[in-house]
Amino acid sequence: MSNAQLILIDKRNQPLKEYIVAVAASDGLNIKGVEIMASPAKGETSLLNAQVLIPPLEAFDFDMKKLVNATLNAVSVKDEIMTVDEFIAQCSEDEAVRDALSKSVPKLRKKIEALLKEFLDSEVIPLILERRNDVLYKLKEHAKELKGKKIVCIDIEATNISTDPQADIIQLSACDGEGKTLFNQLINPGYDIPENEKHNITTEMVQGEPLLGHVWDEIHDQLRDADVVLAYSTESDFMYLEKSAEKKMLRFELDYNKWLDVAELSRDLNGAIRWHSERMYWFYKTPKLTASYEQVLGKPFPGDAHDALADAVATIELFNAMLDKGRKSQIEEKKKPKQVSDIITNNPFAAAFANAKRS
């Protein structure tokens, strides 16, 4: 008979910080000093130790049972990820020792639960959940409002970022609400295209292609006549069009109020929450189109992420999938933020949390 058992070792020397919980919520966390020790008997040297990895909390719906299972199914031994059963198998070849270690797993589960409870009790978690509920409500409303509407989803490739006044459009592409191509036009800027990691378009590719002014009217009017224009980051695409029209003296009748930013919706639905230590506030990171697509649809991003048409089609597919999440959600009305006690305002994290909920 063996007295071996699995023991959770917690050598942390400070309380859990809320900004750390924010990282764990989206990315998971490797906490230094928190390990599972396989002890042969009290006072004896450890058989083997495994690093505890906190799984991404939101990916498991902040559900304690799922999170405990995920934690025990992915412990780290010398950078090798394994289940707790595989860990036990590596601890000893003695069947009696292995059996004793296995019998101690329920006790270990309770210790893991207590560890995870620290994360789940953080005020960061309701802040995330409220944001997700709010965007699901928005998506449900969009699904109703956009039914039967003429949708155009656009994407643009350019010689540089939209804030550069010298940037020129070199590809304009758009699809409708079902992903059908409306236009896909390479544009000759009239000069050699500088190398840019944001796109794969070369000077040779645009030889023989029209100048922007030659195709402007048709493209402009399709955008103008749409009920709603979608883009992944509407601000930059609209800026490209507005500045190009001004620079090349082209007519411009586009209304930004008709544009809907899929990136903003994606940020609220999928974006990781982070703490800005200098400005003292919480913010949400906008995921890249490729990352959001793969997270929401659960499949690899299709095509070339540096091609305007591929991005436009992926954006509408992502948007439709998010609308479907909104339709299927149980959110009937936008939840009102609860009043937060002023008692916590001497804590900068708690104060920022309270302010974020009030806004």
List strand residue ranges (DSSP E) for the chain, in order: 5-10, 29-39, 48-54, 75-77, 80-82, 151-158, 169-176, 181-186, 228-231, 259-261, 273-276, 281-284
Percent of all residues in the chain with a pLDDT value above 90, rounded to a whole number: 82
Q: Over the stretch 223-272, which tens digit does the pLDDT of each residue have?
A: 999 999 999 999 999 999 999 999 999 999 999 999 999 999 999 999 99
Decide: 301 and 290 in contact? Cβ < 8 Å: yes
Predicted confidence at residue 356, as pLDDT, reads 55
Predicted confidence at residue 182, as pLDDT, reads 97
pTM of the model: 0.85
**Cα 279 from Cα 356, distance rounded (Å):** 13
- For the cut 60, the answer to whether the pLDDT of residue 337 exceeds it is no
Predicted confidence at residue 352, as pLDDT, reads 55
Decide: 127 and 30 in contact? Cβ < 8 Å: no
Predicted confidence at residue 306, as pLDDT, reads 78
Query: What's the CATH code, domain 123-359?
Result: 3.30.420.10
Average pLDDT of the chain is 91
Predicted confidence at residue 354, as pLDDT, reads 52
Predicted confidence at residue 341, as pLDDT, reads 40
- For the cut 70, the answer to whether the pLDDT of residue 278 exceeds it is yes
- For the cut 60, the answer to whether the pLDDT of residue 193 exceeds it is yes
